[in-house]
Chain A
Amino acid sequence: MLVAGLDVGSLTIKAVVLEDNTIKDFTIIPTGAEINKLTKDCLELTLKKTGDYFKDLKIIVATGYGRISIPFADKSITEITCHALGANWLNPDTRTVIDIGGQDSKVISVDKEGRVVDFVMNDKCAAGTGRFLEVMAQALGVKTEDLGKESLKSRRKINISSMCTVFAESEVISLIAEGCAKEDILRGLHEAIANRIGSMANRLRLENTITLTGGVAKNTGMVQALKKRLKAKVYVPPEPQIVGALGAALAAQKMAGNNI
C-alpha cells in the first residue's frame, strides 16, 4: 500500500513516500510563494525517484504551516501530532520530542503508542529557532550547514544574553568587534538557545528518550548544547528534518488501513 506524507513548513517542504510501513524515498525543498505548486513538485520529485505514480497513492496527508493550502491532500493534521507519530515509529522509546524548525520550536510529550500527551511551543518571536540561527550565521559569515562544525571548535565560553533576533544580532556584531572568536560566539548562541528550549521543555514532564527532530537537529553544535542542558538520553534520527512528513505518511497509512 502506497501513501505519502507532506510537511509544508515555514522554510522547507518535505515529502515522504511510504510503502507497507517502509520509507521508499523522500525529498526536501525550500518553501516559496506558490506553496501548492511547490508541494506538488516536491511530491512528484519523490515519486520519480521511487518510480511510482501519483494515482497509485492511496492517501495523502499534509502537515506543517501550509497544510491547509494543499487541495490534493486527503487530510491535514498538525505537525505536533505528526512529529510524535514519526518519532515513535523511528524509536518507540521516545517519550519526548523536541522539534526545532524554521520559525517554531516545540516540545511534545508522547506515550508509548506515539500519542501526544502534552506540548508547548515557543512565543511568537523567532528566538530559539532555525531562522534565528540562520540570521546569526549570516552575521558571522558562516554557512548554515557549517554552524555545528564551527561551534564545536570552541575553547572558550561566551554568554549571549539577548534572545531577540534583532538584539542578538547587534550583540553578535559587538562581540565580533571586540575580537571574540567566531566559534566561541557560535557556541554561546547555541547554548543560549538550548537554555531557552530547556526551560520551555521543563514545562512538561521530561522523560527519556528525547528525540530531536526538525532541520536544526542536523546541527551538531545544537545537539551537543541540548544534550548538555537537558542531561537526558537524546536520540537523533538519521534524517531528523523529515520526521514530520514521515508522521503524516504514517497517519495516511493508518487511514488507508482503516478504509480497507
Chain B
Amino acid sequence: MSDDFNDDFKSGLIKKIAKNSHIYELGNRGARIYFRKSSKSFKLWLDFLFYQLKEAGKRKRPVVWTNIYTPSELIYSLDLFPIYPELISGVLASVGLANYFIETAESKFYSTDLCSFYRVAAGLVLKDWFPAPDLIISSAQLCDGSTKFFHNLSKYYNCEHYLIDSPYYDDEEANSHRYLVAQLKEIASKVDKITGRRLSQERINYVFNLANQTREDILKINELRENIPSPLSGWDAMAYILYMFFSSLGTKKGWEFYQTLVQEVKEKVDLKRGAIREEKHRLLWLHQIRPYYPNEIIQNLQENKGVISFEEVSQVYWGALNPQRPWESLAQKMAANFGVGPIERRIKVIYDLVKKYKIDGVIHFSQRGCRQSCGGAYIIKDFLQEKGIPMLLLDGDGADSRNYSKGQTRTRIEAFLEMLS
C-alpha cells in the first residue's frame, strides 16, 4: 500500500519535473560537465537533444511526434517542433531506463513479441512523462509496428494522426509518387490550418538548403569512411550520430553538427588513426539499430580485431532536394528508401556497400520483435554467400536487455570472426 503510494507520488513528481523545461537546462549543463572529455560532435548532440526537450516543453510552436522515416525537412518546413519517440527510446535504453518502461507497457497488454523500441515508447506514453504532442505525423515506411504505434498515440493523446501511407513500388511516372505528393500536400494544408500561418517559399528555401548542405557533409563523411583503418566506428554512427541523421536535417544545429563531424573524421584519416587499435576484419552492420543498453558486443568485436566499417542505415539514398518542387522532392526522397519494395533493392545497396567499403563479413542484427528486416535476412545471406561474403545473423534485442545473453552473443561473434580468419 505505502509502496503504491510512494510510486504514485514519485511518478507524479517526475511527471511534473519531466515536463518542466528548466530541468532540461539543468540536465544539459550537468551532462556537459559529465561528458567534458567526449568529442565535440558528441557534445553538440547533447545540446541538440536537450534543446529539443526544452523547446517542446515551452510549446511555442506546435509539438509533433514523428518517426524516423518521415523526412525531417517536412517537419521543419512546416515550422513544427518534432519529438522522436523511437530515438528517445534508444537514449533511454543506453542510460539503462528502458526496462522500467517496457514493464509498464507490458502490464498494459503490449506483447513481449513486439519490437522493444515501441514497448519502451509505449511505456513512456502510458507514464505520461513527456511533453504531449499537438499532432502526430508518421510515415508507413519502416514497419507495421511503427504505423500502428503512432496511430495508438493519437488515441492516448486525443490528437490527429496524419499517416503518410507509402507505396510499395517506386515508379516515378506512375501513381505511387502522385499518391505520396498528394498526401504531403494535404498534410501541409492541414497544418496551415492548425498554425494559422501559410507555408512560405522562403521557409522551404531555408530548410531545404540547410538539409542539402548537411547531406553534402554526410556524403563527405561516408567517403572518408572508405579509408583503412576505419576512422569512425559504426557503433558510434548508430548511436548519437544516427539521432542527428534522422532528426536534424533541415536545421542549423544539424548542419553545424555534421560540419564538426567531418572535421573529426578527417583528422583521424590524416593521422591514420583507426576506430580500433588493430583492424583485421572490416564489417558491415545491417539493420537500422544496434543494442543500446550496456552490453559487450563492441568489446567482443574489438578483442577479435573486428571493426564495423559501415552500417546500411547511414547510406544516403536520396538526392538533393529541390525547393522549387518541394512535394515532388520529398516524395522522391521517401520513394528512394531501399528498405521499401522488393528485397532485391536492399540487396543491391548492401552489395554496393560491401564493395565500396572492402567488407570482409556482414552482420545482420536480428532484432527479436522485428519482422521487416529479419524477414529478408536469409535471402540476403544466400545472395552474399554466392559472392563469397560470409554473413552472420546475430539474434538479439535493441532495447530489451532481458533478451541479451552475454555468453551466447559472444560465442556467435567470436566464432564468426574466427571463421573470417
The short answer to whether A and B are in direct contact, CB under 8 Å, is yes
A interface residues with partner B (beta carbon < 8 Å): 65, 68, 77-81, 104, 115-121, 123-124, 203
Question: Do residues B395 and A123 form an inter-chain contact, with CB atoms below 8 A?
Answer: yes
In this complex, which of A77, A104, A116 has the most chain B Cβ atoms within 10 angstroms of its Cβ? A116
Q: Which residues of A contact B385 (CB under 8 A)?
A: 118
Give bound CA distance, A145 to B338, whole Å: 53
Give bound CA distance, A115 to B378, whole Å: 22
A117-B419 contact given A65-B411, A80-B411, A124-B405, CB 8 Å threshold = yes
Q: Which residues of A contact B393 (CB under 8 A)?
A: 120
A78-B395 contact given A116-B418, A118-B385, A119-B419, CB 8 Å threshold = no
Q: 5 other contacts beyond A80-B418, A118-B419, with CB at 8 A cut-off?
A: A65-B407, A78-B411, A79-B411, A115-B419, A120-B393
B interface residues with partner A (beta carbon < 8 Å): 378, 385, 390, 393, 395, 403, 405, 407-408, 410-412, 414-415, 418-419
A80-B408 contact given A118-B385, A118-B390, A124-B403, CB 8 Å threshold = no
Question: Do residues B390 and A78 form an inter-chain contact, with CB atoms below 8 A?
Answer: no
By beta carbon, the residue of chain B nearest A115 is: B419
A116-B408 contact given A123-B395, A124-B395, CB 8 Å threshold = no
Give bound CA distance, A65 to B418, whole Å: 16
Interface of A is mostly: mixed
Give bound CA distance, A194 to B205, whole Å: 63
Give bound CA distance, A77 to B415, whole Å: 8
Q: Which residues of B contact A119 (CB under 8 A)?
A: 415, 419
Q: Which residues of A contact B403 (CB under 8 A)?
A: 124
Question: Do residues B390 and A121 form an inter-chain contact, with CB atoms below 8 A?
Answer: no
Q: Which residues of B contact A123 (CB under 8 A)?
A: 395
Q: Which residues of B contact A78 (CB under 8 A)?
A: 411, 414-415, 418
Give bound CA distance, A68 to B419, whole Å: 19
Give bound CA distance, A116 to B412, whole Å: 12
Tell me the minimal C-beta distance from B361 to chain A in angstroms.
11
List 24 A–B pairs whose Cβ atoms lie within 8 Å, in order of A's numbering: A65-B411, A77-B414, A77-B418, A78-B411, A78-B415, A79-B411, A80-B411, A80-B418, A81-B415, A81-B418, A81-B419, A104-B408, A115-B419, A116-B419, A117-B419, A118-B385, A118-B419, A119-B419, A121-B411, A121-B412, A123-B395, A124-B395, A124-B405, A124-B408
By beta carbon, the residue of chain A nearest B393 is: A120
Q: Which residues of A contact B419 (CB under 8 A)?
A: 80-81, 115-119
